[in-house]
Structure 1
Amino acid sequence: MPYDPPPELAGLSLAQIAEQVAARNLPPLDTWDPPETEHSGMRITADGRWFHRDSPITRPAMVRAFASLLRREDDGRYFLVTPHHKQAIDVEDAAFIAVDCKADGDALAFRLNTDELVLAGPHNPLRAQGDADTPAIYLSVRHGCEARLDRSTWLQLADIALADGGDLSVGSQGATFALRPA
């Protein structure tokens, strides 16, 4: 089945973004609890590239398929989960990279490196890590996984914060998030 990537984030209205987010048909990982079997031989590097046994996974459709099965446990370990298998996967930093951002009304929308759209808010909060000189902003995605904002997306978000009052915080869907590490 061919994959039609969604239109550019800047060209979508908030209603269109919300519609695409709601239309995702992701597996119910929260209801699956198979026993851990083995390591998958896979890893995700800090820049968002996926590898299997040190060979890059270059097909975006494969990355999207594996990403839909990704879960982070309470102990911080990552797993690929199906109804019958649970295999460990190494993640260097965050499972995803946020590559674009758009403010629309009282919402912030992000596009991930997997073409997934995420609306920041109480269920998908932003958090700041690092220090004032080298901040890192993370967006909660799903199943304990996060996306780290790439540099250009962080700069987009900083521009939004400065335009809204200059205190380096942003609001989305009724929640406020500091862009400076505590």
Structure 2
Amino acid sequence: MPAPPPPDLASLSLAEIARLAEEDRLPPVESWNPAHCGDSEMRIARDGIWYHQGSPIGRAPMVRLFSTILRREPDGRFVLVTPVEKLDIEVEDAPFTAVEMKAEGEGEAMKLAFRLNTGDLLTAGPGHALRFEEREDGPRPYLHVRRGLEALIARPVYYELAEIALTNGSAPPGVWSNGAFFALEPQA
């Protein structure tokens, strides 16, 4: 039976988003330490598309499943890990992409929720920090997802963040979410 489609972010309250995120249990990949078995022949492109042997993985439930066993190693490598095997996976930028955002409240009371390309829902805050890098091709915004894994914030979503930052009057320009302030300028 196919997985039900994810709920529409715009129709959910932030409390409902937080509840759904809390209910989404993940495997304990941080406690699995199998021997390294090789390369998965998989790649996550900068735009968030997952590939296997050069072909896009077209089934969203498969991508979602693989994303739950993704781990970042202390040396910075990305691996897919199960209790019995560990395989390298190439990640061009960040393993996830934040593709949609919902804002509620104003100023310090604001909360920002994000939907990832895998369907995961997160609320930015102390446990899911926003950070910004300046690169040759422009600003690159990220959202911490879990255990060293980040989501690149899609350009249209970044523009929504920038609009909030420019209209809220903060200096430096930034956004609040769950009581934490995130400056839109790159951190040194």
> TM-score, normalization: structure 1?
0.94
Shift of 1:5: 2.1
Which residue does 2:177 correspond to in 1?
172
Residue 178 of structure 1 aligns to which amino acid in structure 2?
A
Hey, what's the Cα distance between the residues in 1 that align with 2:33 and 2:123?
Answer: 27
Q: Percent identity?
A: 52
User: 1:131 offset after TM fit, Å?
Assistant: 4.7
Specify the code of the residue in structure 2 equivalent to 1:64.
R
Task: Tell me how many residue pairs correspond in the alignment.
Answer: 182
CA contact (8 A) 1:132 1:181 kept: no
Moved more, 127-136 or 115-124: 127-136
3-state SS in 2 of match to 1:118: strand
Structure 2 unaligned spans of 5+: none
Question: Judging changes above 3 Å, is the alpha-carbon distance between structure 1 residues 42 and 171 closer, same or farther for their aligned structure 2 residues?
Answer: same
Distance 2:19 2:34 in 1: 32
Q: Deviation at 1:132?
A: 9.2
Amino acid at match of 1:90: E
TM-score for both structures, normalised by structure 2? 0.91
Per the TM alignment, residue 133 of structure 1 is displaced from its structure 2 partner at its CA by 7.2
Extract structure 1 runs of 4+ deviating beyond 3 A.
Answer: none
Deviation at 1:119, TM superposition (A): 1.1
* Residue number in structure 2 paired with 1:81: 81
Other-structure match for 2:69: 69
Cα distance in 2 for partners of 1:72, 1:145 equals 7
**Considering only aligned residues, what root-mean-square deviation do their CA atoms show, in Å?**
1.5
1:8-157 correspondence to structure 2 within 5 Å: 8-105=8-105, 106-131=110-135, 134-157=138-161
